[in-house]
Amino acid sequence: MSGTRNADSSAATAHYREMVRRMMYSNGDLEEPLPPCVDMVLDLAKFQMVKALQDAWEQANAQGRSCIALEDVLVLFRRHKFLLKRLLQFAEAAERISLLKQAAPRPAKLDEDPDQDSDVDDDDLATASVPDSSFSRMQNYVDIMGLGQSAAELMQLPDGEFEERQRRVAEIVMNGITSEEYPRYTAARTATFLDETKRAGRRYIYPRIVKEVKGVHLW
């Protein structure tokens, strides 16, 4: 059993080191960043996740609850509007992806005529944010956080840091890489948004983080 856990740990660490390497490369670093730099960024990301959970747990505990709610995490960013804005943007993007998947053509069953009309009408497909989605819940909570701005207004704020990053990426694509390197660069950028091996996170990263925040139950 111990050997299996160690193998899972090594595989997960290797996976996330590769993700960090690609992230660094796609944001202007070398294609093969220095290993100590990769380890430092990975350790920093883990530290920030653990610290966020610890602070969220203190918030939940102060409210007399034994589990962390979404609102306990959001309140940590009440003084960091641009980070809060990005969380909202990520949630909105995730919801749109989910809706697109729901609206995708349903493959025919083995015993079903492929030319037969689907049982689901186009009008029945979800096309808007559902009331109990994480994104809607986040919007509702941000609206009552006393920021002086609604969630909708917050998402429209100019983000100079993000825009500068986009300009830097555009400069890299236009002038900093060769045609031979371009496919590897785009693959690295795609990998930072599409994690196809989430099993590693579920089996190792998340349990380890929760273990470090003793007594925390996620909800």
| Domain chopping of the chain, boundaries | 8-68+178-218
pLDDT tens digits in sequence order for the chain, 219 residues long:
566 666 667 888 888 899 899 988 888 888 899 999 999 999 998 999 899 999 999 989 998 988 998 889 888 888 888 888 888 888 888 888 888 888 877 766 555 555 555 554 444 444 444 556 788 888 999 999 888 889 999 888 888 887 888 888 888 888 878 888 888 888 887 776 665 555 444 444 444 544 545 444 443
Note the pLDDT of residue 60.
Answer: 92
Note the pLDDT of residue 107.
Answer: 67
3-state secondary structure the chain: CHHHHHHHHHHHHHHHHHHHHHHHHHCCCCCCCCHHHHHHHHHHHHHHHHHHHHHHHHHHHHCCCCCECHHHHHHHHCCCHHHHHHHHHHHHHHHHHHHHHHHCCCCCCCCCCCCCCCCCCHHHCCCCCCCCCHHHHHHHHHHCCCCCCCHHHHHCCCCHHHHHHHHHHHHHHHHHCCCCCHHHHHHHHHHCCCCCCHHHHHHHHHHHHHHHCCCCCEC
Note the pLDDT of residue 199.
Answer: 46
